[in-house]
Each structure stands twice: as C-alpha cells, then as structure tokens.
Amino acid sequence: MFSCCLPRSGGVKVTPQEPEPEPVATQDRRRPASECAVSLDFFVRFCATIQAETYRVQRPYDVNNPDANTVSVPGRELTTSEVVYMESGIKQQCRELQQGKRYVDHPKVNEADVWRPGLPKFSFISHAWENPFVLLLDTLTDHFNKQQADFRSIYVWIDIFASA
C-alpha cells in the first residue's frame, strides 16, 4: 500500500506503508471480503454433496406463490441461483449463523479451506447464476487439471461463498 501527498515544493511524494492487518473472522467479527476465497478442493467437495441429492425447487420461480411449480431436481441439474436460494441452500445455511455471516464462516467450512494472507494468490471467478451449477465446477476443474494443479493449493473467490 502506498500513501500519496503533495509536498510544498511541488511534485508528488509516494511513501510505502505497511498495510493495516485485517481482522480474522471470529464469532463476533466478520472476516474481510478479501479473505473469502475457498480452496478448489473445498469447492469440489461442496459440489459433490450437492450432486448426491435430489431437491425440491420451484421452476419457474414465482415470488407470489412459493408453493407453485415445485419439482424434484437432481443436484447435478440445479442452477447456481437454486443452490443459493433453495430451502436448504447457502442463504438458508447462512441465516442459521449470525446475521451478515458469509458461507465461509459456516462451521462446515474448515479454516484450512479458506484463503488467508501468506497463501498463493487466489483467482476471482465470475459466473452466471442461471447456468447449471455443475458447469462452474466442470469449467474450473478442467482449467486447473490442464495445469496439473493441486486443488488444495488453488484458491477461488466465488461470490456465493464470500457474500453475506
């Protein structure tokens, strides 16, 4: 981090500064958003639990009639939006935590699976919520398999785990 100021003599003075240490998540403090990337290994395991089940979801979703159009859908066919908002989805699990907690703060997530300073850089992942959730998994695993990467040392920042 750098600070910048204009000295009286004109020109610009740039002074390197040590970054302020960001707090680690505790029961009463949220971890900073910059530390909410998860290991690709965690993501693969998370997806495996989703794919192993069949879920009751509403298709198409009707906000005025939440019981309408409810169908059984294999986990492999869920959209990212459904994974987040279905009855047992990510948002519901986060509601079980304190208000404003992110999924990375859930007790189901091992701290070793969450990025922290000192680990290799993480990749920011952008994706469409209406696509099949498994497409995100397949795309990431295909990409990193081509690099012969160890999924335990690859970290990905994905909004569904990092947002409150």
Per-residue pLDDT of the chain (164 residues; tens, 9 = 90+): 333 333 343 333 333 334 444 444 444 457 888 899 999 999 999 999 989 988 888 777 666 776 677 888 899 999 998 888 876 677 777 766 665 678 888 888 899 999 999 998 999 999 999 999 999 999 999 999 999 999 999 999 999 998 86
> Strand pairing of 2-5 and 13-16?
antiparallel
Q: Compute the distance between CA of residue 156 and CA of residue 140 in angstroms, rounded to an integer.
A: 9
Determine the length of the chain.
164
Say whether pTM exceeds 0.75: no
Q: How many helices (H) and strands (E) does the chain have?
A: 5, 7
Q: Compute the distance between CA of residue 23 and CA of residue 135 in angstroms, rounded to an integer.
A: 34
Residue pointed to by tokens 């935590």? 97
